Amino acid sequence: MTNTLSRRKEAFKPIRPGKVTIYCCGVTVYDLCHLGHARSYIVWDVLRRYLIWKGYIVNFVQNFTDIDDKIINKASSEKLSMEDVSARNIREFHQDMDALGIMRPDRMPRATDSLDSIRSLISNLQEKGFAYSVDGDVYFSVMKHSNYGQLSGRDLTNQYINPEGRVDKDDENKKQNAFDFALWKSAKTGEPSYPSPWGNGRPGWHIECSAMVLEQLGETIDIHLGGADLIFPHHENEIAQSETATGKKLANYWMHNGMVNVSGQKMSKSLGNFTTIRSLLNSGVSPMTLRLFVLQAHYRKPLDFTKESLEAATSGWQGLNLALNIGIDYEHILLWSKYQKGDLNITLKTNNQTPESLKKHHQRFIALMNDDLNTSGALSILFDLGRPLRSLSNKIKTGHYSKSSVQDDHSSFLRWNLLVHLAKVLGLKGENIKSQSSISSCELDVEFIEHSIELRKRAKVSKDFATADRIRNELNNIGVELFDKPGGITEWHINE
């Protein structure tokens, strides 16, 4: 895996054999999540699934930042409490993540529940002389930390200071150095606040993560995750705080995902170029399409979101989904349930009946995933596995299927089994797309439609294709599309 700390690929070695501790930076719960968040959590979900699949016991912790200026602003504009806004957005977050098939983290601590450890961590830093308080604020003294900049490769003397006046002036006057950052902020009137040795106030942004890592996972963890935009200053500051307090390394591996771009620019709330996960799902984009969209690019590279790229993912997913569903959709013909499922890994290794090509696909998949989570490459294995299965389903659909030899039939089954198994490692699951025609049919006269189809059928039998096409066009005009299937069956769907 590429370790941001060393900027190179390193072999992964956990602190304790067989166990992995992971901390993933979560969201600030002030609004719905957008596609950028989706990418981050899909990618880390795949990392987690893969580690579990490889046999590791993974302890995955992800926080909710539920104390923040943006939440406070939102609350005041909606005349709600900060807690109300947070609670609502945590619910929405879960709804979106569940829909995307992202496994829930083992623990999801909140800043509001971690105040004790936050306060004691700040006291610790103060006792060590790395923090100073000014009028109820407490700041971390960046210049005292000798390794500051190790993660982001920065030399503070060369950084922009207070660029374009984007930094709070009051804050700046209190700081001893422009790069010092707040550990604790005194409360302004009317703001939610919590008691502390420095007066009423609330924690700064970075300290909660340091406190939570320590409280939930210990002094040193295996992997720390987050978006590339968090490298500086967030993660740099986290390292400074944690390592000063404990004297230990915070995380052995740091992994960062690339941004989602919109016409070459980062998707973000402030630029207003974002698309929420919710609106995508509501517009009929399937969760699995979004996973495919995300996983088709390497996690560290920027990923451009366009209408075309989404359409490509949609079509791609349809094909893969077809292959994933073959054993279920055509079970009545294939009768694959007669085969023992068993342990696929053992079957692949020990059974000499297993075709070499399947073993190769399996090995290749692992090699690609081992190589810094090459999901794009791993997907190509899935498509390769799926191709013959799609052919098979086409034969069945067009009535050209005939029972193959027992051996071929069994290897088709194994192929399907392997495909479903590997897809699951990427969190991709077959979706049943049958019976969509009944969704909003209440608005339409079903009897009329079916009567029309019957009339058209008669016209077709008597080779009156002009009438047949006219009926189809008329139905099309009222939003009903007809599809002739083998065996004289006509299906209809409602067009949006």
Q: Applying CB under 7 A, which of residues 110, 234, 361, 410 lies at the interface with RNA?
A: 234
Structure tokens at 448: 């009329």
Say if CB 212 and CB 183 are below 8 A apart: no
What 3-state class would DSSP assign to 447?
Answer: helix
Give the nearest distance from C-beta 384 to RNA in angstroms: 6
Task: Assess 465 for contact with RNA (CB under 7 A).
Answer: yes
Q: List the Cα angle 129/130/135 in 5-degree steps.
A: 90
Residue 24 or 58 having the CB closest to RNA = 24
Q: Applying CB under 7 A, which of residues 228, 324, 453, 480 lies at the interface with RNA?
A: 228
Please give the DSSP secondary-structure letter assigned to residue 110: B
Q: Please provide the size of the chain in residues.
A: 496
Please give the DSSP secondary-structure letter assigned to residue 89: H
Positions 74 through 93 that interact with RNA (CB under 7 A): none
Positions 391 through 420 that interact with RNA (CB under 7 A): 391, 393-394, 397-398
Q: In this structure, which long-range contacts are made by residues 442-449, counting pairs with CB atoms below 8 Å and at least 24 apart in sequence? A: 444/478, 444/479, 444/480, 444/494, 449/475, 449/480, 449/492
Compute how many residues bind RNA; rule: CB under 7 A: 97
Euclidean distance between CA atoms 150 and 155, whole angstroms: 9
Nearest to 382 by CA among 418, 348, 414: 418
Q: How many other C-beta atoms can be found within 10 angstroms of the C-beta atom of residue 241?
A: 28
Residue 106 or 171 having the CB closest to RNA = 171
Task: Assess 229 for contact with RNA (CB under 7 A).
Answer: yes
Give the nearest distance from C-beta 392 to RNA in angstroms: 8
Task: Assess 39 for contact with RNA (CB under 7 A).
Answer: yes
Task: Assess 205 for contact with RNA (CB under 7 A).
Answer: yes
Task: Assess 209 for contact with RNA (CB under 7 A).
Answer: no
Residue 9 or 104 having the CB closest to RNA = 9
Give the nearest distance from C-beta 335 to RNA in angstroms: 20
Helix (H) or strand (E) holding 266: strand 265-266
Positions 252 through 271 that interact with RNA (CB under 7 A): 257-261, 264-270
Give the nearest distance from C-beta 210 to RNA in angstroms: 14
Positions 181 through 200 that interact with RNA (CB under 7 A): 181
Amino acid in position 372: D
Euclidean distance between CA atoms 490 and 471, whole angstroms: 13
Give the nearest distance from C-beta 361 to RNA in angstroms: 11
Euclidean distance between CA atoms 359 and 349, whole angstroms: 8
From the CA atom positions of the chain, what is the Rg in Å? Answer: 28
Give the nearest distance from C-beta 264 to RNA in angstroms: 4
CA 77 to chain centre: 30
Instruction: Give the binding range for RNA (CB under 7 A) out of 23-31, 243-251, 324-332, 338-346.
Output: 23-31
Structure tokens at 444: 């339409």
Residue 155 or 343 having the CB closest to RNA = 155
Q: How many other C-beta atoms can be found within 10 angstroms of the C-beta atom of residue 214?
A: 24
Give the nearest distance from C-beta 309 to RNA in angstroms: 5
Q: Applying CB under 7 A, which of residues 388, 424, 444, 494 lies at the interface with RNA?
A: 388
Instruction: Give the binding range for RNA (CB under 7 A) out of 32-40, 53-61, 133-141, 416-424.
Output: 32-40
Q: Applying CB under 7 A, which of residues 40, 112, 275, 354 lies at the interface with RNA?
A: 40
Task: Assess 272 for contact with RNA (CB under 7 A).
Answer: no
Please give the DSSP secondary-structure letter assigned to residue 164: G
Helix (H) or strand (E) holding 311: helix 307-329
Give the nearest distance from C-beta 471 to RNA in angstroms: 9
Give the nearest distance from C-beta 303 to RNA in angstroms: 6
Positions 432 through 461 that interact with RNA (CB under 7 A): 460
Sheet of 251-257: strands edge to edge? 57-62, 19-24, 221-227, 251-257
End-to-end CA distance of the chain: 44
Euclidean distance between CA atoms 203 and 69, whole angstroms: 11
Positions 309 through 348 that interact with RNA (CB under 7 A): 309, 311-313, 315-316, 318-319, 322
Q: Give rounded-to-5 percent helix, strand, coil for the chain.
A: 50, 15, 35
Positions 51 through 70 that interact with RNA (CB under 7 A): 65, 68, 70
Instruction: Give the binding range for RNA (CB under 7 A) out of 122-130, 332-340, 441-449, 484-492.
Output: 484-492
Task: Assess 370 for contact with RNA (CB under 7 A).
Answer: no
Q: Applying CB under 7 A, which of residues 84, 106, 191, 304 lies at the interface with RNA?
A: 304
Q: How many other C-beta atoms can be found within 10 angstroms of the C-beta atom of residue 489?
A: 10
Positions 126 through 165 that interact with RNA (CB under 7 A): 152-155, 158-163
Instruction: Give the binding range for RNA (CB under 7 A) out of 45-53, 191-199, 436-444, 482-490.
Output: 482-490
Instruction: Give the binding range for RNA (CB under 7 A) out of 193-201, 280-288, 335-343, 385-393.
Output: 385-393
Euclidean distance between CA atoms 245 and 8, whole angstroms: 27
Maximum pairwise Cα distance, the chain: 94
Instruction: Give the binding range for RNA (CB under 7 A) out of 88-96, 114-122, 210-218, 483-491.
Output: 483-491
